[in-house]
Amino acid sequence: MSRKLRVLFLCTGNSCRSQMAEGWCRRLKADVIEAYSAGVDPHGLKPLAVKAMAEAGVDISAHQSKSVADLGGVEFDYIVTVCEAAHGACPTLPGRGVVVHVGFDDPPRLAATARSEAEAMPHYRRVRDEIRSFVETLPEELTSRAAARSA
């Protein structure tokens, strides 16, 4: 049996979207994917991201915001950038990792004017569900996007 694909979900702060993607991947695709997340400028896990994932039955409360350097030189098959800033600043990593961009809206930015947690949560839930839908297509979606890029 071949090894699992190593997939890094990369975002700016490793505080929300990349953490959600790692959580979903570990929950839904652990049999075929070894999931990681990191940020190009990590700045702490967002409590509302933890709450949104917990509502869906995925516990990411033990996750920590980390940089690519914190991953110890793991060689990735795919690096999935989940925000424009990370895509533009994606570092060169060891190995043959194929960079695939799949952008998602930024819940903290969308919720910036919310007057309460109740007003903020719909943004987190929507993005959480969009990320889940994407993760459900893995690994096939990654290979097709990589093939399209090289064509």
Domain borders along the chain are: 5-140
Taking Cα atoms as reference points, which of 73, 74, 81 lies closest to residue 98?
81
Q: What is the DSSP letter of 102?
A: -
Listed ranges 37-46, 61-70, 86-95, 113-122; the one with the highest mean pLDDT:
113-122
**CATH class in words for 5-140:** alpha beta
- Which one is catalytic: 74, 90, 98, 146? 90
In eight-state DSSP terms, residue 69 is G
Which of 33, 58, 83, 93 is catalytic? The answer is: 83
Q: Is 25 tagged catalytic? A: no
User: Is 11 tagged catalytic?
Assistant: yes
Could you report the per-residue pLDDT of 52-75, keeping only the tens digit for each? 999 999 999 999 999 988 998 889
Is 115 a residue whose pLDDT tops 80? yes
User: H-type helices in the chain, by residue range?
Assistant: 17-28, 47-55, 84-88, 107-110, 117-136, 140-150
DSSP state of 151: -
Q: Tell me, yes or no, if 90 is annotated catalytic.
A: yes
Question: Which residue in 5, 8, 10, 11 is the catalytic one?
Answer: 11
Q: Which of 9, 3, 4 is nearest to 22 (CA)?
A: 9
Q: Answer yes or no: are the C-beta atoms of 28 and 58 closer than 8 Å.
A: no
Cα dist from 10 to 71, 105, 114, whole Å: 12, 14, 26
